[in-house]
Amino acid sequence: MTDAVFRETAAEPRTQSVPLAHVSLELGHLYMEDFEAGAGRLREHFALVRPWVDAVRASAAGNGKRPRISTCFLIDDYFTRFSSPAELVPLLLAEADRCGLTVDYLARESGCAVADGVQIAAAVEARLVELPPPGSDGSRPPVSETGWLANGERTPGSAGAEAMAGLTTWSPPNETAARRHSVFADVELWDDRDGRRTWSCPFLAAVWQLARLGLLRYRGEPVLRPRPWPDGGFPHDWDALPPLIQLSPSAAPFAAYRTCSVLPSRFLPVEHAVRVVLSQIQTDPDALRQVAERSAREGVPVPDAIADRASYVFYAGP
């Protein structure tokens, strides 16, 4: 006799879907020193970004359909606090408008760590699944202990070798998916000092990409959701500003099938690290399925690999 098991439907978390644009277009991610440099620096940034924004829009319209494109901007308030939203946000929006650009969504980088009481970065860290390099013997501590994530096999260390064991033969690091020659990367995801964890810029940027791709969930619910922001002033404290706000009421959805980020070239190593992280995250399977089903209905091809859904334009600038 088989015992029947009954469960209340409400007891099982249901993965909620999110609306999706075709492209989430990031107009910038600047540090506080960029804002400190004044309006001229922001104007220069947006002037360099504008031609590439036009190119992305033209490319997205190439299939004959009117593309849904939303724009976003990420402000670093996690590593450095400078000035206030009341001073910086109007300046940012004014300089973007001067260059013919509209910021639909504005995000605080601290929201990629914690938003609405949810430890987002910690939840993403729990989904990391390291790709063991060929021939790995399991001697390397896991990323959950070290805080470091690599895209291949590190150079063996000799610190633990016995004193009389002889010289250790050096061998180079090796990228797992190398094409003849390796481009090895070892990414620091966080550091712990005085009992406080600080997430690294590449890891928070990976969380930011997952949010823009509509793949972040916590107990089945979307996280880092945009909140409408009424016309008017901005608060004088960063913590009083929601992690993600919608500035344009008629904007396309924040999340999208693909992302494109137009950034200064100094972000290239950071975004390389982001791809390393994205390639080793076990994304919510229901969220992935929802995107796949919707993209199939719309006839919009989406790469299987999460990292391949993100694209970049790096400009050489100040």
**301-318 pLDDT, tens digit each:** 999 999 999 999 999 865
- pLDDT higher than 90, residue 135: no
Mean pLDDT in residue range 259-263: 96
- Distance CA(55)–CA(5), nearest Å, equals 56
* 60 or 21, which is more confident: 21
| CA-wise closest residue to 222 among 231, 213, 232 | 213
Q: Token pair for residue 28? A: 């910038």
Look at residue 13 in the predicted model and tell me its pLDDT: 60
Look at residue 82 in the predicted model and tell me its pLDDT: 83
Give the side-chain half-sphere CA count within 13 A for 197. 16
pLDDT tens column, 26-65: 999 888 788 888 899 999 999 999 999 999 999 887 666 7
- pLDDT higher than 50, residue 89: yes
| CA-wise closest residue to 191 among 50, 314, 102, 79 | 79
| CA-wise closest residue to 313 among 28, 20, 21 | 28
Percent of the chain having pLDDT more than 90? 69
- pLDDT higher than 70, residue 10: no
Under 8 Å between Cβ of 214 and 22: no
Look at residue 318 in the predicted model and tell me its pLDDT: 59
Strand ranges in 143-290 using DSSP code E only, listed in sequence order = 148-150, 152-153, 174-175, 186-188, 190-193, 196-199, 217-218, 221-222, 227-228, 244-246, 256-264
Place of tokens 């995801």: 189
* 14 or 41, which is more confident: 41
Look at residue 155 in the predicted model and tell me its pLDDT: 83
Query: 34-37 contacts: CB < 8 A, separation 24 or more?
Result: 35/82, 35/83, 35/88, 35/91, 35/92, 36/82
* 226 or 9, which is more confident: 226
- Residue 98 burial (CB count, 10 A): 13
Look at residue 64 in the predicted model and tell me its pLDDT: 65
Look at residue 4 in the predicted model and tell me its pLDDT: 47
- pLDDT higher than 70, residue 278: yes
Q: How do beta strands 244-246 and 227-228 pair?
A: parallel
pLDDT tens column, 154-185: 887 655 445 555 566 788 888 888 888 999 99
- pLDDT higher than 70, residue 138: no
Look at residue 8 in the predicted model and tell me its pLDDT: 45
Please report, as a single letter, which amino acid is at residue 257: Y
> Among 19-23, 205-209, 218-222, 303-307, where is mean pLDDT lowest?
218-222
Q: Token pair for residue 139? A: 């001697």
Mean pLDDT in residue range 79-90: 90
- pLDDT higher than 70, residue 24: yes
Cα angle for residues 57, 62, 67 (degrees, 5° grid): 55
Look at residue 232 in the predicted model and tell me its pLDDT: 73
Look at residue 2 in the predicted model and tell me its pLDDT: 46
Look at residue 63 in the predicted model and tell me its pLDDT: 62
Domain boundaries, given as residue ranges, for the chain: 16-114+201-265+285-315
- pLDDT higher than 90, residue 123: yes
- pLDDT higher than 50, residue 70: yes
Highest mean pLDDT among 54-68, 104-118, 139-153: 104-118
Average pLDDT, the chain: 88
Rounded to two decimals, the pTM is 0.90
